[in-house]
Amino acid sequence: PGGGGWTFEDYEAGWRAAHLLGEEARPGGRLAAWYLRLPYALGAPLARAGVDPDLVTLAALWVALVAGWTATLGPGWAAAAGVLTLAAGIADSVDGAVAVLQRRTSVFGFVWDSTADRLADLAMIAGPVALVATRAGPGWAKAAVAAGTAAAGLLLLLEYVRARAQTAQVAAAWTLATPGERPTRVIVLGLTGLAVGAAQLGGDGLATAALDLGYPVALAVLALLEAAGCAQLFVAVRHTTSPLR
């Protein structure tokens, strides 16, 4: 937009319109509202440069894939995997900011972004599971596989339930921020990677305990949070009074 459309207020208004949110809706509360300034700060220069938002989505997906692959390289790489996981989470918000600021939101972009997010989610879970399954003891390896499978399955279920609820015009499907949302998954896996990596500096005993416990516990926590998110969405759908349109 020549001469305008680049301010944070313009971005926030466009973000609300893209997510079908009214002025009163505050998904995620003040924390989410504050966080919006980060993708805006990173996305505005890209938008001015005319970068295609779909390419930004592809770049964010590649960062997530590299994060998952890095985790498989060994416990010493866990910190790098954690940093890349957090970077992928931030990058995932930038493509939307670029699209909104350029006024290039589209059906293809919406579907492509959602598809890339799910691939990224699975990659960021698969990497840590592969690490523990190949480097930890048999018991912890099985725990990591079980927890990772549960976390992956429940995140897909959570996103599916939300998508179907949105199709059914359930308002809460757009505004309800559950405990198992993608930012939570990114933060938990990213910080766990940093913690496992930092434990390598504490000697063999601490390093082994961190590898055995860190990712399996984190993935189990994510599975529980995602299950809670599914339950919240089902309750919201159960109590909705709006007709299916």
pLDDT tens track for 131-164? 999 988 888 899 999 999 999 999 999 999 999 9
Residue range 152-181: mean pLDDT, rounded? 89
Q: Give whole-number Cα distances, 158 to 144, 161, 197, 225, in Å.
A: 21, 5, 30, 10
Assign 3-class secondary structure to the chain.
CCCCCCCHHHHHHHHHHHCCCCCCCCCCHHHHHHHCHHHHHHHHHHHHCCCCHHHHHHHHHHHHHHHHHHHCCCHHHHHHHHHHHHHHHHHHHHHHHHHHHHCCCCHHHHHHHHHHHHHHHHHHHHHHHHHHHHHCCHHHHHHHHHHHHHHHHHHHHHHHHHHHHHHCCCCHHHHCCCCCCHHHHHHHHHHHHHHHHHHHHHCHHHHHHHHHHHHHHHHHHHHHHHHHHHHHHHHHHHCCCCCCC
5 pLDDT band, cuts 50/70/90, is low
Pick from 14-23, 24-33, 58-67, 99-108: least confident: 24-33
pLDDT in tens, 196-219: 988 887 777 788 888 889 999 999
* CA-wise closest residue to 233 among 185, 179, 176: 176
2 pLDDT band, cuts 50/70/90, is very low
Of residues 23 and 70, more confidence is placed in 70
Pick from 25-34, 168-177, 180-189: least confident: 25-34
* pLDDT greater than 60 at residue 68: yes
185 pLDDT band, cuts 50/70/90, is very high
Q: Are 81 and 129 in contact (CB under 8 A)?
A: no
* pLDDT greater than 50 at residue 3: no
* pLDDT greater than 70 at residue 29: no
* pLDDT greater than 70 at residue 244: no
| CA angle (63, 67, 69) in 5-degree steps | 115
- pLDDT at residue 28, as a whole number: 55
- pLDDT at residue 86, as a whole number: 95
* pLDDT greater than 70 at residue 24: no
The rounded mean pLDDT for the chain is 86
128 pLDDT band, cuts 50/70/90, is very high
* pLDDT greater than 90 at residue 69: yes
* CA-wise closest residue to 74 among 185, 221, 200, 204: 200
- pLDDT at residue 21, as a whole number: 63
